[in-house]
Amino acid sequence: MGKIKKENIVLVRSRNKRDQFSVTVPAEENLEKIEKGDLLVLESKEGIEIGLYCSKDTMVQKNLPEMKFVRTAKLADISQMHKIQQLEEEFDQNFNDKIIEHKLPMKLIRTELSFDEKRLTFYFTAVSRIDFRQLLKDLVSSCHKLIRLEQIGSRDAIKINEDFLGPCGRQVCCQSFICDIKNININMVPKSNLACPQSQKLSGCCGKLMCCLMFSDKEEKDAKIKALDKKE
């Protein structure tokens, strides 16, 4: 008897790159033909969604929310994505017109329409909490969708806005490969070989300490562990 093929568990990121999911792909699907960044059609409790393939099971973290695999994206799915992107641009303008009308101190970062076109999410930043109840009513009336308004922080604002490059000139880490941003704190700074804590070179596009500080910190810890092992 031949070997029974096992299902593959893969890591998938949401289209806005804020969330990551564990997805079980049937054995008959050839993962070798799927490349990083390819679109997968998925099913969640809220409906059909599109996700970005990240990696095979070796990179999957524990305790991730799960989504159901439907299929790799076909031409019809890609056409639907193009349609959604056009609609999102229209909803962008509508949202910006409304916040001007209501004189609300908020900045729209991203608009996301679900793959089935039923749910519309507006991600925004603001310096304080916003009373957007009347805005929400107007959006429901004008967009004819299930509306969600989500206030996000500066890190997430950069993560879901693809117009930013890091100080290194490359795509910022939180967009390209970091799914789970750990706490970056000032204690990591002296351990790295970077400038003093007051230096602007330590700040990323979001204005907070750069995520890559945690790699410098980890490298130094690993070096210390290796040095101790040699002494023993």
Where are the chain's structural domains?
Answer: 8-72, 78-155, 182-231
pLDDT at 99: 95
Q: Would the CA dihedral through 220, 165, 82, 84 be positive or negative? A: positive
Alpha-helical runs (H) found in 34-182: 75-101, 133-143, 154-159, 173-176
Contacts with 190 (C-beta within 8 Å, 6 or more apart), sequence order: 197
Could you tell me the CA-to-CA distances from 147 to 93, 117, 120, 176 in Å, in that order? 15, 11, 5, 28
Angle at 171 between CA 168 and CA 175, to 5 degrees: 130
With a CB cutoff of 8 Å and minimum separation 6, the contacts of 98 are: 135, 138, 139, 142
Q: Mean pLDDT over all residues of the chain?
A: 77
Q: Does domain 78-155 have CATH number 3.30.300?
A: yes
Helix, strand counts (H, E) of the chain: 5, 8
Of 45-54, 72-81, 99-108, 128-137, least confident by mean pLDDT is 45-54
Higher pLDDT, 203 or 133: 133
Angle at 151 between CA 150 and CA 152, to 5 degrees: 110
pLDDT of the residue at 205 = 66
pLDDT for position 215:
65
Residue 107 pLDDT > 90, yes or no?
yes
Angstrom CA distances, 31 to 34, 43, 63, stand at 5, 19, 22
11 in Cβ contact with 66 (< 8 Å): no
Flag whether pLDDT at 1 surpasses 90: no
Of residues 41, 2, 14, the one with CA closest to residue 25: 41
Higher pLDDT, 225 or 187: 187
Give yes or no for residue 144 having a pLDDT over 90: yes
Q: Encoding tokens for residue 36?
A: 């990083």
0.75 exceeded by the pTM?
A: no
Condensed to tens digits (0 to 9), the pLDDT of residues 147-187 reads 999 998 877 777 777 666 666 777 676 666 665 556 666 66
Residue type, 90: E
Q: Express each pLDDT in 23-33 by its tens digit.
A: 888 877 777 77
Q: What is Dmax (Cα atoms) for the chain?
A: 70
Q: What is the pLDDT of residue 150?
A: 92
Percent of the chain residues past pLDDT 90, beyond the cut: 32
How sure is the predictor about 4, in pLDDT bands with cuts at 50, 70 and 90? very low
C-alpha Rg value of the chain to the nearest Å: 21
